[in-house]
Structure formats: C-alpha cells, structure tokens
C-alpha cells in the first residue's frame, strides 16, 4: 500500500497539470498520483494518462466534489492529500501538510495560501463559510475554502457517504470532521494557484462557489 495518495480533480487544466504533477514527483515521496479528469474538453485526460499513476475520466463535468469522491474511491495510501490542479510547481509545498498527520497532531491538515492583496472585496464567500462553521462547531478557520488538504484514510468510509456539492466540498468536509470531534490544523504554505480575478469568468466562478457552499450548508442541517 502506498503511504500517500495524492488526488487531483482537474477540469480543463492541460496547461498547469504537468508542472503540478512534477512538483509532487520532485519530493521523492512514496506516493501515488491520482488525477480525475472531470469531463475536460482540452488535453487534460491525455496528460493525466501520461504522467499520473491513476487516471479517472468522467464523461461529463460533475463538479469538484464528485471528482474528488471518484479519486478517493481509488486511493490506496494510508494518508490522502487533495490538491488543486493549477498549483504548478508549488504543489511541492504539500510536504508541509504531512508532519501533523504523521505525528498524530491532527486529523485534517489544511494548507493556507499566501494572501493576495488584489483579492480584497472577494471575501464574502469565505466569510460566509467561516461564520457558519464557527456557529456550528465553535472553530474559526482562516482558510475554510482552501482545497489543499491532507487526512488519514480512516476518514474515507464516512466521507464517501456524504453527498458532496461541487465547490462546497471543502466546507462540507470541515463540518464533517469538526462535528465528529476531529482536530483540524492550518499550515502556512507558499502554494499558489491561478487567480480568477475581477473578470467575468472570475465572477462566474465565485457565484457558482457561493451556490455550492450554500447547498452544502443547507444539507449539513439535515
């Protein structure tokens, strides 16, 4: 059994995926790289088949949450790492997520990305998630929406029973862990992914993220 399984959901990430996978390989860790192509229309699938250990190809786009679930089902490592596909070479920063797990200091480790000064005004989604999580669990988290995470595989059976909601998967995961008494630790990293910015595509992304998170929060009350 591989010690670490790295699961990467990818949708039209042909430009960044090679560097993201290479950043993981550069660590020389005993790990398997699992890429889930979420119905991409570019060469993401071809690149994944060439560079990843396992490629899961979804016929149509099903959303980040479902893509992660499909990757988790195939993970064989004792520790599971989830990374965004557009991290590029900064994916090597995943190494900082592992020590708290290996020493049993945490059940879930979240990688915090450096604050981008131009992101001011785009924090409504994050604030909504922070406030709700704090209200439900008493825990205030700096980076509740970060997709860079690591956890022990013992959490997989219960996670796979969840009905994850697209971009709401991170919020849903946090509630899942915290409401079950898990220790969640946030770690500063130098990871950097593509910034959506104040563009039409950026606003669309944030809007979809908001919808998915609201669905996840409503679902957590049932």
Residue 20 sits in a domain of what CATH number?
3.90.550.10
DSSP string, 115-142: PPGGGTT--HHHHHHHHHHHHHHS---S
- CB distance 85 to 20 below 8 Å: yes
In the block, which residue shows the tokens 């708290």? 100
DSSP state of 103: T
In the block, which residue shows the tokens 């899942």? 176
Predicted confidence pLDDT, tens digits, the chain (222 residues): 469 999 999 999 999 999 999 999 999 899 999 999 999 999 999 999 999 999 999 999 999 999 999 999 999 999 999 999 999 999 999 999 999 999 999 999 999 999 764 454 457 888 988 999 999 999 999 999 999 999 999 999 999 998 776 568 899 999 999 999 999 999 999 999 866 555 555 555 565 665 666 666 666 554
For position 164, what pLDDT does the model report? 76
For position 193, what pLDDT does the model report? 82
Model pTM above 0.75: yes
- CB distance 160 to 90 below 8 Å: no
C-alpha 3/C-alpha 5 separation (Å) is 7
Cβ neighbours for 56, distance < 8 A, ≥ 6 positions apart: 34, 35, 36, 37, 67, 70, 71, 74
C-alpha 103/C-alpha 101 separation (Å) is 5
Of 92, 66, 68, 81, the closest CA to residue 33 belongs to 81
Question: If DSSP codes are grouped into helix, strand and coil, which group holds residue 33?
Answer: strand
E strands in the chain: 4-10, 31-38, 54-58, 79-82, 108-112, 149-152, 184-188
Task: Provide the domain count of the chain.
Answer: 1
Of 63, 90, 70, the closest CA to residue 148 belongs to 90
What length is written for the chain? 222
Domain of 18 in residue numbering reads as 4-219
């Amino acid at each position: 059994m591989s010690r670490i399984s790295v699961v990467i959901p990818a949708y039209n990430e042909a430009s960044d995926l090679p560097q993201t996978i290479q950043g993981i390989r550069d660590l020389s860790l005993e790990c398997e790289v699992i890429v889930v192509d979420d119905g991409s229309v570019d060469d993401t699938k071809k690149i994944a088949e060439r560079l990843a250990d396992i490629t899961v190809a979804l016929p149509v786009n099903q959303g980040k949450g479902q893509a992660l679930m499909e990757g988790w089902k195939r993970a064989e490592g004792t520790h599971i790492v989830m990374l965004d596909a557009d991290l590029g070479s900064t994916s090597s920063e995943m190494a900082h997520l592992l020590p708290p797990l290996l020493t049993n200091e945490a059940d879930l480790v979240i990688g915090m990305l450096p604050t981008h000064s131009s992101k001011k005004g785009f924090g409504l989604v994050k604030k909504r998630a922070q406030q709700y999580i704090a209200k439900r669990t008493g825990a205030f988290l700096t980076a509740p929406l970060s997709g860079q995470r690591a956890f022990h595989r013992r959490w997989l059976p219960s996670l796979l029973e969840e009905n994850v909601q697209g971009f709401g998967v991170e919020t849903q995961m946090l509630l899942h862990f915290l409401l079950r008494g898990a220790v969640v630790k946030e770690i500063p990293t130098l990871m950097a992914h593509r910034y959506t910015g104040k563009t039409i595509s950026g606003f669309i992304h944030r809007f979809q993220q908001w919808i998915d998170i609201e669905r996840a929060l409503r679902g957590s009350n049932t």
